[in-house]
Structure 1
Amino acid sequence: MRIWNTVCLLLVLANFATSADWPHWRGPFQNGTSLETGLVSEWTKGGQHELWRTDFIGRSTPVVLSDRVYAIGRTGKDITEQEQIACFNADTGQLLWEHKFNVFHTTIPFNRVGWASPVGDTETGNIYVHGVQGMFYCFNAEGKILWSHSLTEEFGRISGYGGRTHTPFVDGNMVVISYLNTSWGSQAPTRHRYFAFDKNSGEIIWISTPGGPPKDTTYSVPVVTEINGQRLLVAGNADGSIYAMDIRTGEKVWKFALSKQRGLSVSVVADGHLIYASHGEENIDNTVMGRVVCIDGRGSGDITRTHEVWRLDGCMAGYSSPALSQDQLYVVDNSANLYCISATTGRQLWIQNIGTVGKGSPVWADGKIYVTEVNGHFHILQVGPSGAKIVSTVQLSVKESIEDDKDKPERNAEIYGSPAVADGRIYFTTEEGIYCLGQDDSLSPVLQLIPAEVVLQPGEELDFKLTTSGHGNVVTWSSSGLAAKISEGKLVVNPQATGHAGTIHATVGQSKATARVRVIPPLPWEEDFETVVVEKIPTHWIAASGKFFVRQEGDNKILVKPPAKRGLNRSVVFLGPPTMSGYTIQIDLKGTRNKRRLPDIGLVANRYILDLQGIHQRLQVRSWSSDLRMADHIDFKWEVDVWYTMKMKVVIEEEQAIVQGKVWKRSESEPDNWNIEVRDPLPNQTGSPGIYGYSAAEIHYDNLKVENSNNTVLKGAE
């Protein structure tokens, strides 16, 4: 149970990083393991379980933080060659931002640019990057540089041809970076030193020089563990030893010598007070090449001879860092042999070959091991009680450049980095691109946008609520057809907007939620249809589509309701919300003849209909069309192919509705009196204004107006 207790401790030390993040190159537990389940067991390039791939040239390990993937790589050709940090949408692979920077003050060749991995801070969301030229950057999540240091020019950082560049490490309020340097005063002698910077300001907190003269440049990344109540920073050093330092001050606590000839590049793994390390050179105390060792970190001073728990000699693992899961240590040696070693006893349990050159570090997750091999291989191994079986191998290849002859054979794409496991997916970078693997439905969360439909006024604001199930929570907001702006779920309608409708969209991965928005301005309204596209309708009207359309008639546009090709000829179009009251509605209208058939034409207010009936040649007011509960009518003879104007008003007075209507030829003056007035003792208090039509023959409408009434009955019907 000790290992899983340590996992719980590391969760605290990692600022409560969740399994959905991979902020450190060895994961949230610093040991190359993940608690994720349901991960893929196989994939094919460009096919099954490859969720996305994006062009990118990388050789280190990406990190994943808050549904963004960050990777360091190289870009350009000849005079445009640069190093870069890029940020991708974890769901889609879309490039969100990138920062390119020049390479200088180094002899590192271009194919080794982008050596170090970025590191993310789970507290602030900031990303820290160490380039091969010694530029040390702090970016925020949007790609803004918050602070930077030129480690070479400020502190005499040393860079060798080999390309070895250290990955930063975040702990608490500090970001720690190590490198060989020769500076001034006490730091004039060349040593492998550790620099702790304030992660927010970039100020130096402490500098530690725990070791002696370096034997080589290295790239071992520190880890943090708590031993005897003291939090220690533990790392391999360029002098061939492992050192533990007090994380608060950088003061050396103990030393464990391991390599006789070379510095240590392998990052250690900590499980409480037990430290696991390896190297691939001649041992300090015999001539055997390579060793995996377990150290009891509860000592002080030089603990080389006193605190070794066990050793496994002959395992030349000088590049790849171990993964530790459930009392088993997984180590890849320089020849790409995967060892499984008992973390308790050091006994070799099994060995599995995965290629020829092993430099990428293995990751254990979901009972499987994900591991890369330099010559373009990405392996997935299923781990069993007595061994591991390779269940998937994909070979990646690349041309020297995009300008290469198409007939020229491709070569293996180099892979030096390790996988990152986050949110049910596997991410890794190669010389050929950056990949995301996962279950094919992992990018399809179920989304719900609330409210799903809403009516707003110009200038009004509304915060939409998005609920999601499944993986991913990076939301892309957009709108269609709206005179409005949407950002982080807040919709702001243009104050000058007229009546219209559209949609807003929230996209997560390949899933999209849509909400419908009608924008209805306050009264008065006027619509002459001149700005409406021919054969279309005002977009915010209800129940008009497919039944009404705008037609160009000479220099004028009109609204037309033709006889229905299928279905019913009777339609009501609603223009506003059902809560409206106290308005007057008016429209110009014209009926035509279809053989012996005539249309009925009318208006709607407060859920009452004013209907100019064709066959009956009368003007009717009604609410319940089938029962005619309060209906009444007058005879009204009207002519086809003649424009009339109709006006309707409903007044609520003394607990009854007074429904008034009038119709007159458009070429004549409006009469003073209402043609019809009907009283309803059970009034409809509110209701949307609307247009009515029974198109047994074609109906034409124009010059719609809706305005506030004074709610006073001035004159009754004749």
Structure 2
Amino acid sequence: MMTKKINFAALLFFIFVFISCQTEQQNWTHFRGSKMNGHANVESAPLHWSDTENVVWKVPVKGLGWSSPVVYDGQVWLTSAEEDGTAFYISCFDFDSGELLVEKTLFNSEEPQRIHPTNSYATPTPCIEKGQVYVHYGSFGTACVDTKNFEVIWKRNDMPCEHMQGPASSPIIYEDKLIVHLEGTEDPYVVALDKTTGEIIWKSVRPKEIYDPLQPVFRKSYQTPIVVNVDGRDLLISNSSFMCFAHDVNTGEVIWTFQYGDDSTVSQPLFYNGLVFINSGWIFEDGKPNFTREFAIDPTGEGDVTETHQIWMYEDEVPQIPTPLIVDGKMYMVHDRGMVTCLDAMTGNVIWKEKLRGNFNSSPIYAGGNIYFINVKGFCTIIKPSDSFQKVAENDISETVKAVPVFVGDKMLLRSEKNLILIQ
């Protein structure tokens, strides 16, 4: 009898694991994936396509947005906006057919802030969980929508931010919280909202004694944070402009800071093998943005850890916009102008470098055993993670792409300037 109970318990465990794995393969909940590490939990992924070959469906998207899609229970959600910033939309499509299920205007603006010519008014990627999708358009508004009846659960547009170049930081879900960054040229801050009501749980404004003396242009930031567990405590890693903050994610308390200086962080932090990896944004020389630095940090410290917890620093063709990717101990990063560098993640030593064609905004994604690099013109180079550059395939969708590709099941979902495309 005892053996039967053990076998039954084991069977239930394996069923639970199997269902969990299947669920992960069918969903994509945040910017750069459900674990926000750029890894797609799929066994296979498309290797060959064009603007007509292996396209399951292709549907137009209203307005303009550089946000990436999110997927849950067969629904694809994404945001867009009018090019002049006067209206902000959310759309839901059926994953299998591409059918438009709903399209809603969530916010309007009579006098929108200006944005950078390369940005859009809908660049932050939504985040999603069972029953709710959360969208964020910076100071223009944040909302929660019911994914079953498509009704707005809550929304608010009372969190100010002088973005200067438009919003770009994506929201993330952590337990009962929705965490959003509103870091502009005046009083940059991060806020944790109650995800069920939209009410503020905590708010942390960047220290005025440090940020007020900076030029306004050096206060803005466009990064998306991550949450990591360090010695039993969950920390929000927020690499803001000028310096990185590690907050207690439950209270907003600043646990440690790391200073790197200067302007406009965009790239998302990474966490691997006990280390946090952060991007500095532009480092200025002679009054001009010159280069970007990548840092590896031991996250176990407290207070100002700039001089005590840096493990390594690298500054040769580090990307300003695309987020690096770590696979099997190697960091792969593509510079905005196309140079791919492979580093040893634990030492920062260069393993190889290779130039790809075109310019890049989209971050690389690891799917089905390969790494996908998609440039701004929609040309994709697929490589095998390795100690040397090993090209697997090249494909061209012939459309402008700045969003991150999404991998669900054995298919790839790609958002271009005007369309949403499912590739097999």
Is TM (by shorter chain) over 0.5? yes
Partner of 1:231: 234
Q: Residue 311 of structure 1: SS of its match in structure 2? A: strand
1:554-610 per-residue CA deviation (whole Å, 9 max, x = no partner) reads xxxxxxxxxxxxxxxxxxxxxxxxxxxxxxxxxxxxxxxxxxxxxxxxxxxxxxxxx
Kindly indicate whether the alpha-carbon contact (under 8 Å) linking 2:338 and 2:357 is maintained by their aligned counterparts in 1. yes
- Residue 58 of structure 1 and its aligned partner are, at CA, apart by 3.3
Matched, 1:203 2:165: no
Partner of 1:25: 31
- Residue 301 of structure 1 and its aligned partner are, at CA, apart by 0.6
2:67 corresponds to which of 60, 80, 86: 60
Kindly indicate whether the alpha-carbon contact (under 8 Å) linking 2:322 and 2:363 is maintained by their aligned counterparts in 1. yes
Matched, 1:72 2:79: yes
Kindly indicate whether the alpha-carbon contact (under 8 Å) linking 1:350 and 1:387 is maintained by their aligned counterparts in 2. yes
Letter in 1 for 2:402: Y
- Residue 283 of structure 1 and its aligned partner are, at CA, apart by 7.4
Computed over aligned residues only, the root mean square deviation of the Cα atoms, in angstroms, reads: 2.6
Measured in 2, the distance between the counterparts of 1:89 and 1:417 equals 19
Alpha-carbon spacing, 1:283–1:312, altered in 2? closer, same or farther (3 Å): farther
1:451-497 per-residue CA deviation (whole Å, 9 max, x = no partner) reads xxxxxxxxxxxxxxxxxxxxxxxxxxxxxxxxxxxxxxxxxxxxxxx
Partner of 1:268: 269
- Residue 157 of structure 1 and its aligned partner are, at CA, apart by 2.3
Partner of 2:410: 424
Q: Which has the larger radius of gyration?
A: 1
Letter in 1 for 2:37: N
Letter in 2 for 1:66: D
Measured in 2, the distance between the counterparts of 1:50 and 1:19 equals 20
1:85-234 alignment runs, 5 A limit: 85-100=90-105, 101-108=107-114, 112-121=120-129, 124-131=130-137, 134-141=140-147, 142-150=149-157, 154-160=158-164, 162-180=165-183, 190-211=186-207, 212-213=210-211, 215-234=218-237
Letter in 1 for 2:40: S
Q: Residue 390 of structure 2: SS of its match in structure 1? A: strand
Kindly indicate whether the alpha-carbon contact (under 8 Å) linking 2:49 and 2:397 is maintained by their aligned counterparts in 1. no
Kindly indicate whether the alpha-carbon contact (under 8 Å) linking 1:338 and 1:353 is maintained by their aligned counterparts in 2. yes
Letter in 2 for 1:276: F
Letter in 1 for 2:385: V
Kindly indicate whether the alpha-carbon contact (under 8 Å) linking 2:382 and 2:392 is maintained by their aligned counterparts in 1. yes
Letter in 2 for 1:159: H
The answer to which of 106-115 and 139-148 deviates more is: 106-115
Alpha-carbon spacing, 1:45–1:247, altered in 2? closer, same or farther (3 Å): same
Q: Residue 337 of structure 2: SS of its match in structure 1? A: coil
- Residue 191 of structure 1 and its aligned partner are, at CA, apart by 2.2
- Residue 127 of structure 1 and its aligned partner are, at CA, apart by 0.8
Q: Residue 33 of structure 1: SS of its match in structure 2? A: coil
Alpha-carbon spacing, 1:367–1:15, altered in 2? closer, same or farther (3 Å): closer
Q: Residue 52 of structure 1: SS of its match in structure 2? A: strand
Kindly indicate whether the alpha-carbon contact (under 8 Å) linking 1:281 and 1:290 is maintained by their aligned counterparts in 2. yes
TM-score by length of structure 2 reads 0.85
1:85-104 per-residue CA deviation (whole Å, 9 max, x = no partner) reads 11111111111111124234
Partner of 1:300: 302
- Residue 16 of structure 1 and its aligned partner are, at CA, apart by 11
Kindly indicate whether the alpha-carbon contact (under 8 Å) linking 1:359 and 1:373 is maintained by their aligned counterparts in 2. yes
1:360-390 per-residue CA deviation (whole Å, 9 max, x = no partner) reads 1110112211222123323333334422315
Matched, 1:37 2:35: no
Measured in 1, the distance between the counterparts of 2:108 and 2:81 equals 10
Partner of 1:435: 421
Alpha-carbon spacing, 1:264–1:414, altered in 2? closer, same or farther (3 Å): same
1:168-227 per-residue CA deviation (whole Å, 9 max, x = no partner) reads 110000001111369xxxxxxx32211111101111111112444261422111100100
Kindly indicate whether the alpha-carbon contact (under 8 Å) linking 1:279 and 1:316 is maintained by their aligned counterparts in 2. no
Which segments of 5 or more consecutive residues in structure 2 lack a partner in the other structure?
A: 1-16
Alpha-carbon spacing, 1:350–1:26, altered in 2? closer, same or farther (3 Å): same
Higher relative contact order (CA 8 A, sep 6+): 2
The percentage of aligned residue pairs carrying the same residue is 24
The answer to which of 15-24 and 190-199 deviates more is: 15-24
- Residue 136 of structure 1 and its aligned partner are, at CA, apart by 0.5
Q: Residue 191 of structure 1: SS of its match in structure 2? A: coil
TM-score by length of structure 1 reads 0.51
Letter in 1 for 2:324: P
Partner of 1:654: none
Measured in 2, the distance between the counterparts of 1:17 and 1:254 equals 36
Partner of 1:319: 321
Measured in 2, the distance between the counterparts of 1:174 and 1:16 equals 26
Kindly indicate whether the alpha-carbon contact (under 8 Å) linking 2:59 and 2:98 is maintained by their aligned counterparts in 1. yes
Aligned residues: 390
Which segments of 5 or more consecutive residues in structure 1 lack a partner in the other structure?
A: 1-10, 183-189, 397-412, 439-718
Measured in 2, the distance between the counterparts of 1:220 and 1:23 equals 17
Measured in 1, the distance between the counterparts of 2:202 and 2:409 equals 36
1:254-310 per-residue CA deviation (whole Å, 9 max, x = no partner) reads 11112x3213221101125311122452279xx973222211101111111111111
Alpha-carbon spacing, 1:431–1:366, altered in 2? closer, same or farther (3 Å): same
Q: Residue 293 of structure 1: SS of its match in structure 2? A: strand
Kindly indicate whether the alpha-carbon contact (under 8 Å) linking 1:360 and 1:374 is maintained by their aligned counterparts in 2. yes
Alpha-carbon spacing, 1:16–1:356, altered in 2? closer, same or farther (3 Å): same
Q: Residue 58 of structure 1: SS of its match in structure 2? A: coil
Over 4 Å off, 4+ runs: 14-17
